[in-house]
Structure 1
Amino acid sequence: MPRGFHRRPEQERESLGFEARVTEEAHQSLRLWLRMMSCNMEIQSVLRRRLRAEFGMSLARFDYMAQAYRHPEGVSMRALSNYLMVTGGNVTGLTRELQKEGWVSRALDPQDRRSYLVRLTPEGRAMFESVATVHESWVVSLFADMLPADRARLTDLLGQVRTLLAQADLAQDRSAEPVAD
């Protein structure tokens, strides 16, 4: 068992989540990362279930449509793959499915005839807007019992985390660059 973890009775472990199994001797950063991952997984699980039950839609489809909605002028399939952090094959499959539904159109990119631009159709935009409104209400309800000041503080703290991570990533990139003679 990795250092910093200890066993508790099974029922208690399950109710507290994986991050609660880290002992005080473990790095607080590890505990923070595990807590953030656990919260993200819980939120996604709730949203995934609700999207499927109410709209017969996967979270992947919703995320795809959200990216297409953000780019009314069209978005390349490569960019979609990057935004969604999935393979090109996944984007191609989703594109085909959504085209069959009549929610997206795909056309050659006039700037690069080797790639396609994807756009929501008017029906797709309307469908996404109705789902997104409900999705937003679900997210709001998940955090409704938090004090507004706590939500604002957590948002600020997570913004600081993103800034620190971006700076660390940039510093790593710089240290990997070859030194000129």
Structure 2
Amino acid sequence: MDAETALAGLPPGRKDNLRLWLRLLTCATLMEREIRRRLRAEFSTTLPRFDMLAALDRAPEGLTLGEVSRRMMVSNGNVTGLAARLEEEGLVERRLDANDRRAFRLRLTPLGAREFARQSRAHEGWVNALLAGIAPDDRAALHALLGRAKHSIAEGIA
């Protein structure tokens, strides 16, 4: 039994914030697990590889390893090894930064851009399918509520 299910029987008003957090975590975990499975099955790739290609796709000028690390919210060490493997496969390239000759910028190669486009089309379809059971008005309301939650969390951290 997961933690969310264990708290489900509590009366309304009891541990509501904890139950909400566990519901959000459960939804995110279920979706992430399925996306990881489909990336492996259909593209023989991993979510971190997909995430790095996505970050580079959004930055045609390229990103330093530190910028990739911050965008992916992982350590520089994780990014370095991942970048090296993607470079070996011809999906990304490293070039000296024009503004800082001590740093490298990563960019998608044409092959990397084509591969990411292929994967991202599938990824969008998977997300659409996983959320298809939520009516458009409910999706909009949920998006707005989660925006408020995000704001509340950010204020709580500050």
TM-score (norm 1): 0.82
Distance of 1:54 and 1:35 partners within structure 2: 28
In structure 2, which of residues 74, 77, 82 is the aligned counterpart of residue 89 of structure 1? Answer: 77
5+ long unaligned stretches in structure 2? none
Q: Which amino acid aligns with 1:166?
A: A
The answer on 1:69 being equivalent to 2:93 is: no
* Greater relative CO (CA pairs within 8 A, separation 6+): 2
In structure 1, what is the Cα distance between the partners aligned to 2:62 and 2:3?
41
Q: Give, in angstroms, the shift of residue 111 of structure 1.
A: 1.5
Greater C-alpha radius of gyration? 1
Aligned-partner Cα distance in 2 for 1:21–1:87: 34
Deviations 1:80-134 (A, max 9, x none): 1111111111100110110011000011212222221100001100110011001
Which residue in the other structure is 2:155 paired with?
Answer: 167
Q: 2-side partners of 1:111 and 1:165: how far apart?
A: 36
Aligned pair 1:111/2:95, yes or no? no
Percent sequence identity is 42
Paired residues, number:
155
Instruction: String of CA shifts for 1:36-62, please: whole Å, max 9, x gaps.
Output: 111111000000000000000101100
- The alpha-carbon deviation at position 26 of structure 1 amounts to 4.2
SS in structure 1 of the partner of residue 101 of structure 2: strand
- Determine helix, strand or coil for the equivalent of 1:75: coil
- Structure 1: which 5+ runs fail to align? 1-12, 171-181
Report what 2:6 is aligned to.
Answer: 21
